Structure 1
Amino acid sequence: MRSVESCCPSSPPDGNAMMGRRQKRILGVELPALANEVARIETIRLYAETTLKLEVLVGDLEDATFSVTNKTSRNNPFNLLKASRPTDQDIGQKQAKLMLAVKAMNRIEEILVDVANRRPHWTHLLMAVDARVEKALSILRPHVLSNHRILLSSLGWPPSLTTSSNEKGTRSAIPNPLVLMEGENKELYCESFLKLCALQHLQVRRTGRQNKLQGYNNACKVSNSIDTIKQSCFEHGLWSIDELVQPIASRMEHHFSQWSDEPKFIFALVYKITRDFLEGVDNILQPLIDKAALAGCSAKEAWVSAMVTVLSRYLERQAFPSLVANYVDRVENTVINSSWLHLIDLMISFDKKFQVLASSETQLIGSFAYLKGLSQSQLLLSVFDQHLDWLQIWAEIELNDAQQKLNLQLVDEESWSIDVSPDEEIETFLLSTREDYKAPPIAESVVKISWAMIERGQSLWSKLSKTQFIRSSATLFLNHFFIILLQRFRDMDLISAILEDDALLTVIGSINTARYCEYILHEWNEDIGFLEMAVNDKDPDNLFFNDEISFLVKLETDCLVEIVSALLLQFDALSSYYIHDIEQWEREQTEFDDQILEDENMNVSPSFIEALDMLRHRFQVLRLSLNSKDFVEIWRNVAEGLDHFIFSSILLSNVKFSQHGAYQFIMDVKALFLVFKPFCPRPEAFFPCISDSLKLLGMDRKDVKYTLKVLAVEGVISEERLRARGLFHVSVDQGLKILRNRKFEGQFNM
């Protein structure tokens, strides 16, 4: 018997390799291709099923739409409120068909939202269905609106805008037909209201999805969130509320045309109508809005917003074009400016009152709250966001009015007066008020005028409008005033003014005013409103009033530097003989000994007294009239200048100090310290070079010789030894020079 192996044909040597390549082809090519084909077939199946579902739903929608409109053509909806109206069965069938149409559209929308999220490339299907639904909507919406308007008219809407006086002579509220509804009339109105809400709810959902389809809102999925619905409703208004407002608006505009010269009556009428109907709108319509699933939408706010829109459109069409034309033509400029400002005041007051109306009695629905008041885009002042040229005119008028107020104070010297109290002893460094900064009254007036313009500008809606208005009014006004401060400073010759109290007070008033305004601008910069307006991606540290603050800081610095320079120059002029009188330091008088300084029997040099007296008197005026922060800066800089001046002019010169001369210099310097004593407990600390020199001049012969020997060693050692003796502000060379210029009994220490 042959073996099994001999009965089987032998396999080729490369059979395993061929089988491996076959498996790789199956796994790498054929299976993926098969999977793709299966997925393609599944997609076709899903597409067919979706198309079939949509075809059925769209067919139901079109049938229902035809039935509703066909019945309406035979049965006038006005007859629904007459005795000869259609039978209850006809009405029931009509309502059922309408609800069927709404349900079909909602179901269609659910499918389309799912398709838009999962299969956005099925654009032809989406567009085809949208076209047929839009056609049905274009038939249903006018039909529902027409029925709703006829129904409102039959209920007595709009009511008469005139009211009769009661027995006490006061005007009564306008009767609200919505509150007076009852029975079948109320039921019919509620049904019509719900239909409008349902259609609008559907329209909001469709708009959101279509925006997604067209490439908008790519960052998020199509959503039917409450926030989206609420936002859309208040951006475009609630249809059901608009239907209440439109007929009232027609009647109001008749009165508007008669009150074009008295706009306060226009605002009063709109406010009265809005307020009188507010409670009825909220009590009657809010439950219907909740039932219509417009969660988060407020009937009260929608009513107020729609009434604001009526007035806003009137102002945009009639009031402002006339004011702008007169302003451009410069017709009776003062009267036109007054009319502008009066109208703006009415608008700001109106917006504030209406925000209170809309936000009162805020309610909660589930986890969502009604909006607290009108959004900024629903205020009257938002009209300027679409007309920036009008905004610029408003800013120019505000600026002109502010400058006229300022001009009245500029000519009044009392506005520039500084309240100087001769008995003032307590100095504060926590400055916050005008009195703390010792600024004249005009500084506070400028701040108040500027802030009034800023507050009016902050009533605007957009950041762009706020920024443009404030930059074109308040900021320009402040810059104008700051230039006046600068000019007052430049008109003064401080070299001569430093000795005249009135002239010096003029300069001090400018400094105090600038310092107070700088403080106020820093405070405003930290306000959240200005922080938002100053946001700049290129420079995140930039603040709104940075340029103005920089201008003031430079003005203050220049003024202070000039005052310090004037004081030092005056001191130099008055002490010139004292500085250059070398003989007084070399004179010998043996009757003086070391006890002279302790007994204080020596007098201040007569040639030095006038300079010290000038300094003392000028400091007294500055201390009483200049704000405390700047006064500290002045006396410290003067001390620093005097320290350098006296040290270099006397101590580092070739003056040879005798024992008597050294004692005399020490007495003179102590007198100088006394001038600064009222400002600090240790004035010598602000004269570091002179203070170190006094230690050197006060040494006796033995100590001088020892110190000279110690300091004669070159290098770091001598520096350390100098510091060890408490001398930190003179160098080794300077110390050696001072000590070598000392003489004892006619001998110099060479």
Structure 2
Amino acid sequence: MSPPQPRPPPASLCDFLDAHFASPEDLASAPALAELLRRECVGLEASLRRLEAQLASASASWLARSAGARSSLRRIRSRGGGFGVEEDDGDENLRSAELPALVKEIHRIDAIRLYAEAALQLEAFVGNLEDATFSIVRQASKLNLSSVFRPASNEMQWKQEKLLQAVDAMIDIELELLRISTNRPQWTNLIMAVDSRVDKTLAILRPKALTDYRALLAALGWPPSLSSPDAANDKYSEIPNPLVLMNDANKEKYSQSFLALCALQHAQANREARQCQTKGASASMSDSKYFDKTAACFDNGLWAIDELVQPIASRLEYHFAKWSEQPEFIFALVYKIARDFMGGVDDILQPLIDRARLVGLSAKESWVTGMVKMLLGYLDRQIFPVLVTSYQATDDKLEVHSSWMHLNDLMITFDKRMQLLADSGIQKIASISEGLSRSLSVFTIYSEHSDWLHMWAGVELNSAQHKLKSEMEDETNWSYSIKELGQQEITSNFLLSTREDYKAPPVSEFVVKTASAMIERGHALPTRGLRIQYNRSSSVQFLNGFFLVLRERCEAPQLTNTALEDDSLLKVSFAINAARYCEYVLREWDDDIVFLEMGAHGKHVDEGQGQGHKHSAQHPCSFFADEITFLAKLGTDYLEQIMSSVLLEFEDLSWDYVQNIGLQQIHPVDEVLDEENLGVSPGFVPTLEVLRDRTTKLMLHLNSKDFLDLWRSIAEGLDYFIYSSIRWGEMTFSDQGVIQLRVDTKALLHIFRPFCLRPEAFFPFISDSLKLLAMRRTDAQYLLELLKNGKENDSCLRQQGLQHVNASQSMKILGSKRSDG
């Protein structure tokens, strides 16, 4: 028989030898390779022995527990098999006492088994992660054996494979931890132990992966030069972009490195999402929203793109240092660089992001985010600290205020340009890209420095107050020019929407526009909380300061004096109009979605802080609820004061006339009375003239809505005053006196006739009194008898068209009528 032929070595061994001994010169490295292999074998054998010992120990423990459980089951069977035999009470009690304990013990053993299985599974996953991580690190050891024994062309591919193995291990760990946190939330110690080990491993893995990625970028020629031979002609678009100039081989290497780094970041994002979710509420494994939440972890950009920006930053800051007094050049340069390399970034990196399945993420947005973060870092370190120091140290803050507002205007413009750059050609998914869009704002600098935010708000407030002061010093800005009263102006307009409709003075429109501009600048802040703080410290305080001025202008005139002055009346009217117009504008703003959100989530400032008044909110979702309440109360209070002043003036002027109503007899008794030719009582004429003058001026200068309420209130007040001032029952009216009263009343109603067709409806007591006084003697006597007898008082009064006076009042009025016959 022929001797057995030796088996050929496995293909993997052949590949290994071919890889390390490609030429006779490689034989010199055989001892070093043998030593390396020996060390790895010794380590593997030691690991195997440890695992065998652990397995033997675990097996012995489980065998002991199994034997105990088996003996317990035998005892149950032996006792349960003879149920037909009569047993005593002692055995029955023993069995009922042992069974629950045994069931509890079985559940405990089962829980221990599940815990051990989960721990062993996680131990294997974490071991895979640590093995892949330390394999990558070992290649960068002091001996640098990889550069000796491994061809350079395979080194990068080997590292990327190991990195992807680590990512796969992280995914397995996260799925297992998510299952445990959902089904066994009490195993917190196990989860914490695994997280601790994974954190330590990632602290090694991520820096190494970023270092390898930076090395690849440097080998590809990144960062590019920021200047070109033709830079003097501003042809920066001709700067060569290494990402575009890569050959196919380098492009493939870069693609694999980019995808591996994205996979690592995505795994890290899933991990952070799981940890955040565990702190809140547990979610089931089937919850599809779990992985969607990882998109929020990318709101600060992609690591792979941030590494493209970082080497550019050091070169840009060299130029920034020259422009500390001219920040507009800094913003312009950052925008220029972001725009010039945008095409290459989008063409090369967006397909890679799509391959990585990072749904909703954009290369343009990530590139812009990286550039903005770079600029934010410089502003935080170099620009704002100098500005804040000057703000705090300088007494004359005018120049500092100007510089700060100029810087914020540049930031607003820069944000808009960069946002347009990031959004160009992209159909955004709102629910996913919302977080990333927030990071595109330079105003996120105020998120970390709330004191800077309040300083900026103070700068805005000081500038606005300074401008308002000069506006208020011009008294012409507090008045509203009225055109010549004509037929067209008699018809009131109650759909008020403009300053002209409210007849508000120009200063109110200046206040509204200034506050609107402040609010508009605050829209640049990236979060709702920052916008609330800014508006509470700037626009709201500015408005409240103006509203206090309106109250002071209403309080200054002494409206309670009986001798009203036209200037005082007009001054208060214009202040009320300004308050009503501002109230209308604030209500309009409150209906805007921006203020609805701020009103629903904002916190009110301390009561009275910066406002000087106390009032409660009207609606929980109203951002300006306190201010609207204050303005509404201001208008109502001072309209009541105007009404009281007009009534007091009327009372003072007409007191003698009212006291002598019915006693005046300016015509002979036998003279035939002609009501059409009879004149107004001489003592009542001056009063009516003053009342006409007051109502005419109020109609001209007060807004139509408030004037409508005011003249009706004045009419009702006059009606009650005249009626209650007549000494009914103590004096008697002659027929001539009744006619004179009717003539005087018509003159009074004539003053209010331009405001409505039936002004007598607002003088119910005087109208009813005249009806009773004008009744024929027989009818009056009959009605008086009915009222005295108390029979159907209400019905008989209603039949006579008397709606407001009661029986007692009617009898007094009828008792004041005498017949001259």
Give the TM-score taking structure 2 as reference length.
0.80
Q: Which residue of 1 aligns with 2:283?
A: 220
Q: Give yes or no for contact 1:356–1:373 (8 Å, CA) kept in 2.
A: no
1:541 aligns to 2:619 (yes or no): yes
1:611 equivalent among 672, 675, 687: 687
Comparing 670-679 with 288-297, greater Cα deviation is found at 288-297
Task: Give the length in aligned residue pairs.
Answer: 720
Q: Which residue of 1 aligns with 2:455?
A: 393
1:731 aligns to 2:806 (yes or no): yes
Unaligned runs of 5+ in 1: 1-13
Q: 1:119 to 1:514 in 2, by over 3 A?
A: closer
Query: How far apart are the structure 2 equivalents of 1:730 and 1:565?
Result: 24
List per-residue Cα deviations over 1:308-338 (Å, max 9, x = no partner). 2122222222222111111111254110010
Q: 1:69 to 1:540 in 2, by over 3 A?
A: farther
Q: Which residue of 2 aligns with 1:523?
A: 588
Deviation at 1:457, TM superposition (A): 2.5
Amino acid at match of 1:549: I
Deviation at 1:61, TM superposition (A): 4.4
Q: Which residue of 2 aligns with 1:563?
A: 642
Deviation at 1:247, TM superposition (A): 0.8
Written as runs of structure 1 = structure 2, the 5 A alignment for 1:115-126 is: 115-122=180-187, 125-126=190-191
Q: Give yes or no for contact 2:515–2:543 (8 Å, CA) kept in 1.
A: yes
Q: Which residue of 1 aligns with 2:39?
A: none
Written as runs of structure 1 = structure 2, the 5 A alignment for 1:347-358 is: 347-358=411-422
Deviation at 1:580, TM superposition (A): 3.1
Unaligned runs of 5+ in 2: 1-82, 605-616
Q: 1:454 to 1:97 in 2, by over 3 A?
A: closer
Written as runs of structure 1 = structure 2, the 5 A alignment for 1:284-363 is: 284-363=348-427
2:736 equivalent among 653, 660, 666: 660
1:381 aligns to 2:422 (yes or no): no
Q: 1:285 to 1:411 in 2, by over 3 A?
A: same
Amino acid at match of 1:147: D
Deviation at 1:71, TM superposition (A): 4.1
1:509 aligns to 2:574 (yes or no): yes
Query: How far apart are the structure 1 equivalents of 2:264 and 2:524?
Result: 35
Q: Which residue of 1 aligns with 2:523?
A: 458
1:278 aligns to 2:339 (yes or no): no
Deviation at 1:217, TM superposition (A): 2.5
Comparing 175-184 with 119-128, greater Cα deviation is found at 119-128
Query: How far apart are the structure 1 equivalents of 2:717 and 2:126?
Result: 94
Amino acid at match of 2:680: V
Query: How far apart are the structure 1 equivalents of 2:680 and 2:327?
Result: 79
Deviation at 1:666, TM superposition (A): 0.8
Q: 1:568 to 1:111 in 2, by over 3 A?
A: closer
Amino acid at match of 1:710: L
Query: How far apart are the structure 1 equivalents of 2:316 and 2:232?
Result: 26
List per-residue Cα deviations over 1:88-120 (Å, max 9, x = no partner). 566655554444444344334433443443344
Q: 1:61 to 1:456 in 2, by over 3 A?
A: closer
Q: Give yes or no for contact 1:498–1:504 (8 Å, CA) kept in 2.
A: no
Comparing 118-127 with 225-234, greater Cα deviation is found at 118-127
Q: Which residue of 1 aligns with 2:697?
A: 621
2:724 equivalent among 624, 641, 648: 648
1:18 equivalent among 87, 103, 122: 87
Deviation at 1:601, TM superposition (A): 2.4
Query: How far apart are the structure 1 equivalents of 2:103 and 2:275?
Result: 33
Query: How far apart are the structure 1 equivalents of 2:625 and 2:175?
Result: 54
1:181 aligns to 2:181 (yes or no): no
Written as runs of structure 1 = structure 2, the 5 A alignment for 1:95-494 is: 95-122=160-187, 125-126=190-191, 129-130=194-195, 133-163=198-228, 172=237, 174-210=239-275, 216-220=279-283, 225-235=290-300, 237-363=301-427, 371=433, 374-376=436-438, 378-422=440-484, 423=486, 424-494=489-559
Amino acid at match of 1:553: A
Deviation at 1:646, TM superposition (A): 1.3
List per-residue Cα deviations over 1:19-44 (Å, max 9, x = no partner). 89867865x55555555555555555
RMSD between aligned residues: 3.4
Query: How far apart are the structure 2 equivalents of 1:111 and 1:684?
Result: 86
Query: How far apart are the structure 1 equivalents of 2:146 and 2:426?
Result: 37
Deviation at 1:481, TM superposition (A): 1.4
Q: Give yes or no for contact 2:160–2:257 (8 Å, CA) kept in 1.
A: no
Is the partner of 1:256 in helix, strand or coil? helix
1:636 equivalent among 681, 696, 712: 712
Query: How far apart are the structure 1 equivalents of 2:145 and 2:786?
Result: 120
List per-residue Cα deviations over 1:574-624 (Å, max 9, x = no partner). 323322335644677444568x34xx1222222222211221222222112
Query: How far apart are the structure 1 equivalents of 2:482 and 2:546?
Result: 24
Query: How far apart are the structure 2 equivalents of 1:157 and 1:674?
Result: 90
Query: How far apart are the structure 2 equivalents of 1:76 and 1:99?
Result: 22
List per-residue Cα deviations over 1:699-745 (Å, max 9, x = no partner). 1222222222222213x622332222111211212211221221113
List per-residue Cα deviations over 1:684-705 (Å, max 9, x = no partner). 0000000001101111222222
Q: Give yes or no for contact 1:227–1:296 (8 Å, CA) kept in 2.
A: no
Is the partner of 2:495 in helix, strand or coil? coil
Q: Give yes or no for contact 1:585–1:657 (8 Å, CA) kept in 2.
A: no
Q: 1:171 to 1:77 in 2, by over 3 A?
A: farther
Query: How far apart are the structure 2 equivalents of 1:620 and 1:50?
Result: 90
Q: Which residue of 2 aligns with 1:574?
A: 653
Deviation at 1:127, TM superposition (A): 5.1
Written as runs of structure 1 = structure 2, the 5 A alignment for 1:633-712 is: 633-650=709-726, 652=728, 654-712=730-788
Q: Which residue of 2 aligns with 1:5?
A: none
Q: Which residue of 1 aligns with 2:630?
A: 551
Q: 1:370 to 1:106 in 2, by over 3 A?
A: closer
Determine what percentage of the aligned residue pairs are the same residue: 49
